[in-house]
Chain A
Amino acid sequence: MSTGNPAAVEKLSRREYVLAQRELRRKKMFALALVVPLLLFLFFAFVAPIGTMLYRGVYNPVVAELIPDTLQALEQWEGQTLPDDAVLNRLALDLKRLAQTRKSGKLAEEINRHWPGASSVIKSTARRMKRQTDEALLNGGADMIRVANKKWQRVEIWRAIKKAGQVYTDGYYLTALDLERNADGDIQQRESAQIYIKLYQKTLWMALVITFSCLLLGYPLAYYLANAPSKTANLMMILVLLPFWTSLLVRTTAWIALLQTNGVVNSTLMALKIINQPIEMLYTEFSTIIAMTHILLPFMVLPLFSVMKGIDPSLMRAAQSMGAKPISAFISVYLPNTLPGLSAGALLVFIISVGYYITPALVGGTDGQMISNIIAFHMQQSNNWGLAATLGSLLLVLILALYWIYDHFIGASNIKLG
């Protein structure tokens, strides 16, 4: 009791205080017990994996663990001339050990990422070193290596080894941003293929188109639902929610059946003699956009509907009675009041579609691929988890940045999800 007449404030006795504390503690424990499952789930399924991903983007101990001695010897090397024989001897020993433990392939793969062509050099050299004794290698390993493959005479392969050997690296980030380091160690645009930036741009562009299409289809629908008699509205709501009750795979596959060369759309158009040849619709950007618009539409309709439901229908009448034409009344009165739902829906659809994987993978072909498909490729096929982690981290940063921009200009407190 902090307010009121101070004379009336009675202090709790020691025993009362303990009891009150115990009661408070019990309440807190109960509240905690209710949220603990969620927190645990969040930690193990969300915070921990994202943390690991962020770490993996810069931490790459593989090469350092494979050839520790060589890398130690290379530490003093400036990178302008060929390293001296001591380094080569060390490498010969490391390669022999790798060949015996069948790990030379792993090293070859890692180095090859930094200098294409290094794979065969390393593998063949390692095979030769396997037969030599340690003693011979320690003294004459350098010559043996030079004999094994001429490419050891080139400084690039050594630079690649040194670069790959860094435990903490910005290499993945540079790759993901289509950059590289030149011989002097300066950052420059990668001379070979520029893939990732373009892919990010395309992903953002497609997410934007999908968001816009959802808005275009969802806004009038939500408006109708919010103003229809409840019986009709309920029925229509079931139709809107129906996709949620069907497997995502089924819905995406349905689009394959519709859009393929001899699919429903093409055969109908041809039967109606509108086209003579089937249009290639499947495995394009178009098919990804149309299928994802369909799948993400409820995420737009639901927040819009809930906001529109709360808008007093007499607002539009009031605006018109004051002399505003219907369109101007809509723009100046109705639209601003739907903004919370509109921004929530748009943000939801945009963020989901930026990271969407399954639909572009199934109907997108090469043309309709998005960034998540490349991430999956690096995880499953090229086995480059570091790069996959980096691409994922950049995606996360991108979304956070967009959210920040949104919050800055429109205000996140405006969002109303339900």
Chain B
Amino acid sequence: MADNAHAAAAEHAAEGTGLVFHPMDQFKVQPLFGHGGEVSFYTPTNAMLWLGLTVLAVFLIMVVGTRGRAIVPSRGQSIGELAYGFVHKMIEDVTGKDALVYFPYIMTLFMFILMNNFLGLIPTSFANTAQIATTAILAFAVFFAVTIIGFVKHGSHFLGLFWVTSAPLAIRPVLAVIEVISYFVRPVSHSIRLAGNITAGHAVMKVFAAFAGLVALSPLAILGITAMYGLEMLVAFIQAYVFTILTCVYLKDALHPSH
């Protein structure tokens, strides 16, 4: 991965001198071993490496950190308990107690996205959550799961979600069309929100980094990178939170479709 980054940098350096803007190169999926070549579905790529590290991070925090099973928690254990309590309370507050059946999957989503966002902030790393393909899978999984749960739990009553009985009869069909459209836009906005936020932050940092090549501007550029990095730490958490809470909101629609 590092080799590839160096190779890419060298390649670009050959193209011109002075300011070089390649804000999007960090999102390239590349094979870990050997340059170029075809990327088939099982090829070990940088995407695979950072997904694996994400799983490892989740494992370290949630399993290794809590191995003491102490009544009075250690530092590591209290991080795990904090994450557990945070998501647990979120589901209870937003969706209701009957949604706690889905707690493991929502917890998976939260921890996975959070860890991936934070790992993506490590310089020269690869942010999977900036990839439309990755977030689209996450969002569409939620979308299909929610739709299926809605139909299984409520049958055709689930369609009442689109028929706003509290509105006057005359405008109900119009509202129904709007509701249906907004329902199907959900996974798109759900996925693009996450990927877009992460992409934007990383690209802006890369643009600032490119300005650092200019001696006169380099202090400003480094200051800009530092400020953006702080903001991106915040964004990394907030986007994981927002993705999870929107999942809870959509799940609430499926479990309690009456408005």
Partners in one complex: no
B interface, CB within 8 angstroms of A:
none
A interface, CB within 8 angstroms of B:
none
